[in-house]
């Protein structure tokens, strides 16, 4: 068939497919789909006659003439605008067309665009369905007085999605009723310096009113924008969000706790809670946990199969626990985590920032004991902080279905040692023949966490088939149980004796281990994957570990520890 005889509707569909393959506005402005419309006069007329073909403007356009031409050809078709705005003149070109804009996404904004944002809020947007504004700045932009009672003069009846990043408006101005997705994210800890106290006080009730009048919400993300009054008391009102599938809250533990008490959401709702520990005598962190547990159990209890724990330490601890019912389809012997980055799909993420030194272990144990993990199959722990105070065996002894474990960082050394039944000995490591009397409890200190396992029971996790060790120092010997290599080797032998089969796969990556020791471990497992690296080269590969001393309530720096 000659190309001149292709039906117009088929040709228009082809042009739309070309647009999907190449965004209409690219950095190079090399638009193949536009060149295709110039093949012949007929093709050009078909393209110009389809206003929707020109209605999607995305990426980072720099050619204002091209933008002007596309807006002219789009005529009154609903516009989808998605651009990284850096030049004021580019944004100003779209304002006269807001009345027929369906989707508006402006990111990489700055304080220089604040007057433009105020203008956008003051225009009518009768067909706007999706609004997303993001400011790239350390401090958020707060609009206190927009000269009206509702955004867009109350003329945004179709608005369903509202995303504001580093942009905050009074809760009273956000449209009620029709929203299905609401996302407001501010930087951690900056909102109190930006929001006037009088405004925040009034916004407390307005936030409650907004949520109560948006029963159709499916996604709710409020990070570090919660009114501080929430920390003082719970409003007492019950807010029903029967369609909510994703809830993400960030702020102080007490703010999150009191808002969670008010919300009634389905048990299937994914919970991502990013808490700032308050470290007060009220123990808000602990009090939050029963509230979270109630959400996980009502009405249908959740059973997690994939659990990831990450502990970081700067001045304070940061603790992050990610749990999911999703089991990885395969376990690759490659260096990447077998669990991957599961935050996006995880049903549950709970993190605490700014946790004081003495509260870390207690909080971690309380979180793990709270979670329904009796059916856990995959466990990943990452920590570069050395600490022996966590009772790993007691914490996970109920998880008898675990098949895969990943331990990252020297801070997980005590957990790795917990995989081996301790030897009953009163001899300290590196003390040749010297013995010291101690009671039965002290004699089991060879196992961190005061293991209750015995040789008759076999090592913990009887179904374990896959073990991945990363950034471990197998020569580490500053522990009553002895050298880490000796402990791991003994544990592998114990599994052969107890379960009549060796470990299916052992993965060692980025560890300090000699080739001789690696070869010895290889003989004790069915499959062995090692990166052939005996340790980092150069002094930079050694760093300082820190260990918390509960007697002095201080950090001790262990110079030259493997990192």
| Exposure b/e, 448-486, CB count within 10 A at least 16 = b | bbebebeeeeebbbeebbbbbbbbbbbebebbbbbbbbb
Report whether pLDDT(18) > 90: no
Q: 271, 338, 351: which is closest to 311 by C-alpha?
A: 351
Q: Where are the domains of the chain?
A: 182-299, 302-426+442-563
Structural contact between residues 254 and 277, judged by C-beta atoms closer than 8 angstroms:
no
Q: What is the pLDDT of residue 110?
A: 82
Q: Is the pLDDT higher at 96 or at 479?
A: 96
Q: What is the pLDDT of residues 28-53, one digit of tens each?
A: 445 667 878 878 888 888 888 889 98
Q: 53, 45, 58, 44: which is closest to 15 by C-alpha?
A: 53
The pTM score is 0.80
Q: What is the pLDDT of residues 509-536, one digit of tens each?
A: 999 999 999 999 999 999 999 999 887 5
Q: What is the pLDDT of residues 368-387, one digit of tens each?
A: 999 999 999 999 999 887 66
What residues form DSSP beta bridges with 189?
none
Three-class DSSP category at 123: coil
Three-class DSSP category at 300: coil
Q: CA distances (Å), 530 to each of 186, 262, 330, in order? A: 43, 51, 19
Q: How far apart are the C-alpha atoms of 449 and 159, rounded to whole Å?
A: 54
Q: How far apart are the C-alpha atoms of 309 and 346, rounded to whole Å?
A: 13
Q: Is the pLDDT higher at 433 or at 317?
A: 317
**How much of the chain, in percent, has pLDDT values that exceed 70?**
77
Q: What is the pLDDT of residue 449?
A: 40
Q: How far apart are the C-alpha atoms of 94 and 295, rounded to whole Å?
A: 44
Q: How far apart are the C-alpha atoms of 216 and 162, rounded to whole Å?
A: 13
Q: How far apart are the C-alpha atoms of 272 and 265, rounded to whole Å?
A: 14
Q: How far apart are the C-alpha atoms of 84 and 101, rounded to whole Å?
A: 17
Q: How far apart are the C-alpha atoms of 464 and 96, rounded to whole Å?
A: 63
Q: Token pair of 236, please?
A: 């007492």
- DSSP type of residue 432: S
Q: Is the pLDDT higher at 441 or at 275?
A: 275
Q: What is the pLDDT of residues 116-143, one digit of tens each?
A: 888 898 899 999 999 999 988 777 777 7
Q: Is the pLDDT higher at 205 or at 548?
A: 205
């Amino acid at each position: 068939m000659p190309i001149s005889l292709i039906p117009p509707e088929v040709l228009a569909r082809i042009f739309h497919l070309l647009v999907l393959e190449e965004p209409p506005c690219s950095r190079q402005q090399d638009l193949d789909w536009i060149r295709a419309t110039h093949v012949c006069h007929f093709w050009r007329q078909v393209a110009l006659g389809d206003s929707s073909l020109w209605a999607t403007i995305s990426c980072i356009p720099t050619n204002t003439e091209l933008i002007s031409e596309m807006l002219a050809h789009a005529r009154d078709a609903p516009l989808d605008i998605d651009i990284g705005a850096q030049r004021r003149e580019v944004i100003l070109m779209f304002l006269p067309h807001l009345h027929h804009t369906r989707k508006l996404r402006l990111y990489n904004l700055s304080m220089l665009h604040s007057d433009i944002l105020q203008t956008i809020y003051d225009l009518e947007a009768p067909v706007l369905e999706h609004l997303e504004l993001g400011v790239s700045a350390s401090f958020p932009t707060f609009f206190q007085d927009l000269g009206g009672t509702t955004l867009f003069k109350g003329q945004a009846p179709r608005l369903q999605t509202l995303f504001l990043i580093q942009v905050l408006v009074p809760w009273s101005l956000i449209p009620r009723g029709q929203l299905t997705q609401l996302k407001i994210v501010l930087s951690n800890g900056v909102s109190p310096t930006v929001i006037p106290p009088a405004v925040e006080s009034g916004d407390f009730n307005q936030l409650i009113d907004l949520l109560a009048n948006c029963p159709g919400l499916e996604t709710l993300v409020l990070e570090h924008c919660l009114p501080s009054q929430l920390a003082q008391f719970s409003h007492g009102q019950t807010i029903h969000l029967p369609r909510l599938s994703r809830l993400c809250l960030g702020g102080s533990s007490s703010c999150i706790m009191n808002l969670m008490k008010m919300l009634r959401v389905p048990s299937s709702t994914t919970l991502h809670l990013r808490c700032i520990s308050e470290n007060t005598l009220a123990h808000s962190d602990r009090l939050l946990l029963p509230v979270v547990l109630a959400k996980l159990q009502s009405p249908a209890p959740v059973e997690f199969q994939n659990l990831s724990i990450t502990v970081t330490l700067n001045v304070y601890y940061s603790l992050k626990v990610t749990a999911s019912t999703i089991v990885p389809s395969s376990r690759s012997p490659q260096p990447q985590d077998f669990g991957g980055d599961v935050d996006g799909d995880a049903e549950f993420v709970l993190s605490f920032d700014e946790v004081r030194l003495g509260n870390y272990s207690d909080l971690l144990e309380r979180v793990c004991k709270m979670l329904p993990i009796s059916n856990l199959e995959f466990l990943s722990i990452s920590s570069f902080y050395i600490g022996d105070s966590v009772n790993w065996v007691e914490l996970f002894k109920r998880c008898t279905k675990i098949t895969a474990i990943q331990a990252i960082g020297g801070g997980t050394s005590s957990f790795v040692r917990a995989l081996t039944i301790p030897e009953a000995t009163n001899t300290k490591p590196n003390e040749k023949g010297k013995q010291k009397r101690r009671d039965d409890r002290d004699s089991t200190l060879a196992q961190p966490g005061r293991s209750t396992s015995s040789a008759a029971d076999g090592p913990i996790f009887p179904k374990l088939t896959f073990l991945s060790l990363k950034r471990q120092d197998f020569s580490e010997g500053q522990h009553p149980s002895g050298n880490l290599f000796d402990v791991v080797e003994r544990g592998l032998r114990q599994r052969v004796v107890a379960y009549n089969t060796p470990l299916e796969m052992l993965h060692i990556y980025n560890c300090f281990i000699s080739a001789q020791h690696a070869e010895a471990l290889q003989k004790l497992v069915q499959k062995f994957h090692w990166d052939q690296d005996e340790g980092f080269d150069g002094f930079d590969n050694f760093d300082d570990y820190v260990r918390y001393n509960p007697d002095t309530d201080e950090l001790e720096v262990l110079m030259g520890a493997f990192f």
